[in-house]
Amino acid sequence: MNPFTERVIQIVKAIPAGKVMTYGQIAKEAGSPRGARQVVRILHTMSAKHNLPWHRVINIKGEIAIPDEESAYSQRAMLEVEGVHFRPNGLVDLKKSRYIPDINDVDII
């Protein structure tokens, strides 16, 4: 497994319940600021194998970016159960729910 993939997995595992991160934010934290699409690929292929809380990852607009309506509904339901704040327009309130990892957290860096 390459170092970027390993870092993405560590970062996603570190997102606490009730918080979210964006694909781009994870890519940047993992060392590849332009690697948001790679994060999508990693989540798609490795979430089950590594038991990743994939539902805590959204796009930069605060949208659930799953095209399948049933899966998007499930993701929103999981986030709501965890206490993630949604705005009236259906977007995640990033001011209240975005997770900012502690840069001193050795497990993430």
pTM of the model as a whole: 0.90
Distance CA 103, CA 40 (A): 23
What are the tens digits of pLDDT across the range 5-58? 999 999 999 999 999 999 999 999 999 999 999 999 999 999 999 999 999 999
What are the tens digits of pLDDT across the range 48-91? 999 999 999 999 999 998 888 998 999 999 999 999 999 999 99
Please give the domain boundaries of the chain with CATH numbers for all domains: 3-88 (1.10.10.10)
